[in-house]
Each structure stands twice: as structure tokens, then as C-alpha cells.
């Protein structure tokens, strides 16, 4: 009985060591997820700031666009004046084209930034779920399972001896 009790005690200790290793691995994984989540949250904040700046830049181009379009419109619709293709006309056409091109580039960057933000938000959601799973696993392993394993029966109890 003593030999069996010793073997059970050895197995109990081996399982505890393995359990502690698993808990340490889970804690490392949880800490890694927390670090990744912090980086993702920082990237989300930076991306939101970038999107705000892009929207402001697009809005800031509206006034120059309206001025250039108005000048071009006035120049092409002058009553009693012959239409001509001179240097100012070419300059206005070029300016309007450049502003359109700039706004188009900004809108493409805005769409790309919004798409990247959506990806970051999905990543954040996944990381938060993974973190919740790791925390739950740690709770079960450390509190529930290891709590039960702390109370190992004595050799006498294992042998079936019931003291009076």
C-alpha cells in the first residue's frame, strides 16, 4: 500500500508540475495577446486621427475648387467676348484638373484608411475574444482545478484506514 501511495504521490506531483507549466504557457499567451491588443488600440487611434486629417484635407480643397471652377466658368461664358485659348485659360483648366486629381488621391487614401480601420477593429474584436478565453482558462486552471489538487489525501486515507 505504501508503494502504491508513493506512486500516486509521484503522479500527483508530476501532474501538478505539468499543470503549472500549462498555466505559465497560458499566462504568457495572455500577456502576448494583451500586448498585441494594446498595439492594435494604438494603431486604431492613429488611424482615426489619420482619417480625420484626410477628411479635413478633402474639405479644405472645396473652397479652392469652387474658386477655380467659378473663374473658369466666368471665363468660358463671357457675353459679347470671343472665346480664346490663352495662357490664363490653360492655367485655370490645369488648376481645376490638379485639384480634382488631388481630391481623388485623398479620397482613395481615405477609403484605404477606412478599410484598414475596419480590419483593425475586427482584429481588436478577435483579440478581445481570445483574451477573454485565456482569462477564463486561467481561472479554471488556477482557481478551480489547482484548488482541488491542493488537497491531496494522506497515505492512511489512501489505504482506506478510517480513524475513529
**Is CATH 1.10.287 the right assignment for the domain spanning 2-150?**
yes
- CA–CA dist 62, 78 (Å, integer): 24
- CA–CA dist 41, 60 (Å, integer): 29
pLDDT surpasses 50 at 164: no
pLDDT recorded at residue 45 = 97
- CA–CA dist 54, 62 (Å, integer): 13
What does the pLDDT look like over 58-100, one tens digit per residue? 999 999 999 988 888 888 777 777 777 788 888 888 999 999 9
Buried b (16+ CB within 10 A) or exposed e, 123-155: bbeebeebbeebeebbeebeeeeeeeeeeeeee
pLDDT recorded at residue 97 = 92
What does the pLDDT look like over 127-156, one tens digit per residue? 999 999 999 999 998 888 887 777 766 555
**Total count of residues recorded for the chain:** 164
pLDDT recorded at residue 156 = 57
Query: Would you call 18 helix, strand, or coil by DSSP?
Result: helix
This prediction has a pTM of 0.73
Measuring CA to CA, which residue among 54, 40, 38, 3 is closest to residue 119?
40
Q: For the ranges 119-123, 124-128, 143-147, 155-159, which has the lowest average pLDDT?
A: 155-159
What does the pLDDT look like over 32-64, one tens digit per residue? 999 999 999 999 999 999 999 999 999 999 999
Amino acid at each position: 500500500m505504501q508503494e502504491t501511495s508513493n506512486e500516486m504521490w509521484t503522479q500527483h506531483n508530476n501532474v501538478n508540475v505539468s499543470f503549472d507549466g500549462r498555466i505559465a504557457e497560458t499566462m504568457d499567451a495572455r500577456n502576448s495577446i494583451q500586448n498585441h491588443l494594446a498595439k492594435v488600440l494604438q494603431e486604431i487611434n492613429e488611424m482615426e486621427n489619420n482619417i480625420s486629417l484626410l477628411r479635413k484635407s478633402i474639405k479644405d480643397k472645396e473652397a479652392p475648387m469652387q474658386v477655380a471652377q467659378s473663374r473658369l466658368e466666368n471665363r468660358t461664358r463671357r457675353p459679347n467676348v470671343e472665346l480664346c485659348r490663352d495662357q490664363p485659360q490653360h492655367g485655370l483648366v490645369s488648376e481645376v484638373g490638379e485639384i480634382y486629381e488631388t481630391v481623388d488621391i485623398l479620397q482613395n487614401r481615405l477609403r484605404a484608411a477606412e478599410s484598414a480601420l475596419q480590419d483593425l477593429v475586427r482584429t481588436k474584436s478577435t483579440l478581445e475574444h481570445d483574451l477573454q478565453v485565456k482569462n477564463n482558462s486561467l481561472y479554471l486552471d488556477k482557481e478551480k482545478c489547482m484548488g482541488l489538487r491542493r488537497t491531496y489525501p494522506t497515505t492512511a486515507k489512501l489505504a482506506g484506514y478510517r480513524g475513529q
